[in-house]
Amino acid sequence: MRFVLALVVLSLLVAALVNLGWKSYRWVQALAPSWRHPVVFGCLYAGLLVLLVAAVGAGQLSGAGWTRWPARIGYVGLGVVVYSLLAVLLVDLLRLIGHLVKLVPSPTPRPWSVGTGLVVVALVAGLCGVGLADRAWRLDTVHYQVDLAGPSAPPVRLALLSDLHLGLVNRAEQLSRVVDAVQASQPDLVVLAGDIFDSNFTALGDPAPIRAQFERLRAPLGVYAILGNHDGGPTWSSMVELLEQSGLQLLSDQAVEIDGRFTLVGRRDSSPIGGTPTPRQPVPALTQAETQRPIIVLDHQPSHLREYLGQADLMLSGHTHRGQIWPVNWLVGALFEVSYGYWRDPDGSLQAIVTSGAGTWGPPMRLGSHCEIVVIDLAFG
């Protein structure tokens, strides 16, 4: 079934790319009617797509310093392609409706074609520009108040961050902004919910600036982290070493008591990229049948939400990026029961918070979502 679904999606993508290439050629023809070289244009178009994919692939696979800027350009280019596909499909739909209701002549006059192409270019440039600016300059601090049943205890301010995706695109400068925002919130406890790195540790180049920023993360009750699906592969051990050297306490299917107020459980990721999933221990086995203090679980992917009913009081996750760019957020919303924000089980036994993350994956853009850190004020009793 998955193979058939993947084949259908791939076929639709190829058809959309062919349609984009054909419409781009027709627009070039409208601009310069004497230029009629479809084979040349097709080769240039296909070559550009191959270059974009190769630039991204080279950066992800090798992580070499020389791939940094080609990879960034490739990622931005992929974002441009995504919005170009959507814009052309929208124009096709509007043109079809226009032909059916006799508002648009058939065949479409040359001035109309030129104008339509200019509108598409402006729309794509505007969307990508807004997305790039949002990711570069905006970092929200989102607040939640969560009441947990159990013995009375002093409140705790917890800072949650996730999906930094440090590597070729997200660098120490971005991490510095995130650390500044976390420290400004004056948390008692800091937790990182995975995807700290972007699959290849060597893409960091010199890890010293990243380590220096992580060393700035300080909180009275500690700084804890789990790994996400991108925190894996051949350079996994280097990722773990940097986190431990920076003073972060890594939890991998482990539980730790936080100042006698609650138990924090950090889960292994269920599907690490480039690695073999390790069977995860059930939460009761990790908490030694804790029944008095509240149990807070860090699980990178919120797809395991129902697993914690009756086993935990609060689940904290990332992974979804809230779709990162529109309209992917619609798809993510359909795939996950909780793709973003606060959720509470109807019987009140479990609460969950899913963050959109502090970084980006792929195109360094945000549209329909924002980079954020989450501050949670926990009350007990």
The C-alpha atoms of residue 98 and residue 340 are separated, in whole angstroms, by 38
Please give the Cα distance from 266 to 254 (Å, whole number).
6
> Average of pLDDT values for 52-56?
85
**pLDDT at residue number 276:** 61
- The angle subtended at Cα 214 by Cα 211 and Cα 217, nearest 5°, is 155
Full domain range(s) for residue 175: 140-380
Determine which helix (DSSP H) or strand (DSSP E) holds 377, and give its type and residue range: strand 372-380
The pLDDT value given to residue 128: 95
In angstroms, the CA 190 to CA 156 distance is: 11
Angle between helices 68-100 and 2-31 (to 10 degrees): 80
158 and 286 co-located in one domain: yes
Q: What is the pLDDT of residues 166-191, one digit of tens each?
A: 998 899 999 999 999 999 999 999 99
For residue 151 the two structure tokens come to 């013995």
Residue 116 pLDDT greater than 70, yes or no:
yes
Structure tokens at 194: 């995975």
Is residue 380 within 8 Å of residue 294, measured between CB atoms?
A: yes
Q: Are residues 101 and 163 in the same domain?
A: no
Is there a single domain that holds both residue 199 and residue 231? yes
Query: Of 33, 38, 30, 22, which Cα lies nearest the Cα of 113?
Result: 30
- pLDDT at position 8: 81
- Please tell me the distance from the alpha carbon of residue 373 to that of residue 325, in angstroms, as a whole number: 18
3: left (phi over 0), alpha (psi -120 to 50) or beta: alpha
Give yes or no: residues 117 and 144 share one domain: no
pLDDT digits (tens, 9 = 90+) for 251-288: 999 999 999 899 999 999 988 887 666 788 888 888 88
Domain count, the chain: 2
Q: Is residue 215's pLDDT more than 80?
A: yes
pLDDT of residue 290: 64
State whether 96 and 234 are in the same domain: no
Query: How confident is the model at residue 232, as a pLDDT?
Result: 85
pLDDT tens profile 357-378: 999 998 999 999 999 999 999 9
Alpha-carbon torsion angle 188, 194, 200, 202, nearest 10: 10
Domain boundary among 135, 153, 178: 135
User: Rounded to whole angstroms, how far apart are CA atoms 296 and 111?
Assistant: 62
Q: Percent of the chain, pLDDT > 70?
A: 97
Q: Are 205 and 352 part of one and the same domain?
A: yes
